[in-house]
Structures are given as C-alpha cells and as structure tokens.
Amino acid sequence: MAEAERIIGTPDTPEPAAADPEQPGAERPRGKRRIAVLFGVAAFAYALDLISKMIVVAKLEHHPPIEIIGDWLKFEAIRNAGAAFGFGEAFTVIFTVIAAAVIVVIARLARKLYSLPWAIALGLLLGGALGNLTDRIFRSPGVFEGAVVDFIAPKHFAVFNLADSAIVCGGILIVLLSFRGLDPDGTVHKD
C-alpha cells in the first residue's frame, strides 16, 4: 500500500511546485534542453551546408553539371552574390547585415524558448543563416561581399544550397506553429 501511495500520491501530498519563469533565478527545467536542441539543430544544419559547399567547390566548380534526375534536377556550382533567383546582387552587404541580425534575434529569443518545435524551427533558421553568412564573409570577392555557393538546380527554379533549404524549412515550420497558436515560450493561444 505504501508503494502505491508513493507512486500515485495521496490527496494530502502536495504536488512539487513548478518553477515560475517570471521570478529571477527560476527557470523551467526543460528550457535548457530546448536551447540545446536549437543549437544542436543549428550546428547540424550548418555542418551539412559547410561540408556540401566544400565538396562542391573542390569537385564541381568549373566542371559540367551532374545530372541527378535527367534534366529535372542537377548539381551545378554557381556563385550567387544576390538573394534568391540572383536578385539584388548589388546589395550583398545588406544581405550580410540581415543574416547577422537574424542570428542575433534568434540568440536573444533562445532565452525564452520552451517549445521543442520552435527550437527545431529556429535551429534550422540559425544554421541556414550561419551557412550563408559564412559565405558572405569569407568567400570572394571580399569580406561582407562574398558570393554564396549554390548547387542544387531543379529545372525551371532557382539554384540553391542546403542553407537555403534549412531557412525555408524553418520558415515553413514557424508559419505552421503560428497558425496553430503555439508560441516560442510554449504557451498556446486561441485567436
């Protein structure tokens, strides 16, 4: 009987108090795990992007495209100084600043993060932004003006990379979470 009371609890046994995130020094225990997930997903997305670009530059740049699915999908190395579809090539520095701002906003938001789906979404955004920011900073023609390495070339579509894919997937997930009413702090609202 004592074992059952220990597992189930008795009506007189108070529940352990949950930490109030509004009080200084109090933190929900799962918040740290969500932050670890965010940075783990970001590191994974960043590493995949970085490794894929290193392979593309070493093996594919200055070579003919590789057909993956006929002419519907090819790997073709290009350098993109602009945004999607090559727009805004004269504004490379602005894209660099935007990517850096996204990284700062995500890092600040991480402190209030208690939602696993939001951690994954923000991790994808962070990893993708870091991947393209790395190109903008370290690739030619110069610091903050570097061209991003793109290589995934579907027919009748823009050529993109894994960082772009991570950003788009993270953005779609954020839109879905917002429509469902789930906030980064884990609360659900019905509007």
Residues recognised as catalytic: 150, 164
* Closest residue by Cα to residue 31 from 42, 21, 46, 41: 21
One-letter amino acid of 5: E
- Dist CA 124 CA 169 (whole Å): 7
- Binning the chain into helix, strand and coil, the percentages to the nearest 5 are 55, 10, 30
Q: How far apart are CA 172 and CA 89, in angstroms?
A: 25
